[in-house]
């Protein structure tokens, strides 16, 4: 018996939803302008991890999230094509830095950002692509 009561309600809701959606679709298609999407100027890389020593001598992990911003479409295309090489260069920079970090000392993110920028410029081939740092986690 309960199904018989719910069926008309569901039918009314379906019909009302269909009739309300049709004018919005017609309005959107009647607009007449197609907006062009701007080419992307930023893409994020996967987080990069490096082993660090903690104050008590145990091992910890330093995680850095990075991204690349390039206003020039050709440079952006080249940077996106070089993503594996960028990740490898960034990982090497971060591992070398983390190996020299004293136990318990806070990381110098300005230095890390400068070194990552140098590595990016080498991989991409010319300056213009900016390295942006996201979050940095030391655990």
Residue 69 lies in a domain: yes
Q: What is the pTM of this model?
A: 0.72
Distances (CA, A) of 24 to 38, 75, 124: 25, 40, 46
Give the pLDDT confidence score for residue 38 in this predicted structure. Answer: 82
- Half-sphere exposure of residue 139: CA atoms within 13 angstroms, side-chain side: 6
Sheet strands (E) in the chain: 42-44, 48-53, 59-69, 130-138
Q: Quick check: 84 and 118 in contact, CB under 8 A?
A: no
pLDDT band at 8 (very low <50, low <70, confident <90, very high): low
Give 13's strand partners. none
Residue 131 lies in a domain: yes
Residue 6 lies in a domain: no
- Residues 3-30, mean pLDDT to the nearest whole number: 53
pLDDT 10s digits, 74-128: 999 999 999 999 999 999 999 999 999 888 888 999 999 999 999 999 999 999 9
Residue 28 lies in a domain: no
Give the pLDDT confidence score for residue 55 in this predicted structure. Answer: 87
Residue 26 lies in a domain: no
**How does strand 130-138 pair with strand 59-69?**
antiparallel
Task: Domain of residue 134: give its range.
Answer: 42-138
Residue 23 in this model has a pLDDT that exceeds 50: no
Q: Quick check: 45 and 67 in contact, CB under 8 A?
A: yes
Spatial distance between the Cα atoms of 1 and 13, rounded to a whole number of angstroms: 20
The CATH number of whichever domain residue 56 belongs to comes to 3.30.479
Read off the DSSP letter of residue 70: -
pLDDT 10s digits, 37-88: 888 899 999 999 999 988 888 999 999 999 999 999 999 999 999 999 999 9
Give the pLDDT confidence score for residue 7 in this predicted structure. Answer: 56
């Amino acid at each position: 018996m309960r199904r018989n009561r719910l069926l008309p309600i569901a039918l009314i809701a379906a019909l009302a939803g269909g009739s309300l959606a049709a004018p919005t679709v017609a309005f959107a298609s009647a607009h007449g302008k197609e907006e062009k999407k701007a080419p992307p100027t930023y893409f994020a890389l996967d987080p990069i991890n490096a082993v660090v020593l903690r104050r008590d001598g145990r091992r910890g992990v330093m995680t850095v999230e990075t991204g690349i911003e390039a206003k020039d479409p050709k440079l952006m295309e080249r940077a996106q094509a070089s993503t594996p090489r960028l990740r490898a260069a960034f990982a090497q920079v971060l591992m070398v830095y983390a190996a020299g970090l004293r136990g318990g000392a806070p990381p110098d993110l300005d230095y890390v950002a400068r070194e990552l920028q140098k590595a990016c410029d080498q991989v991409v081939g010319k300056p213009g692509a900016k390295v942006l740092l996201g979050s940095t986690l030391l655990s």
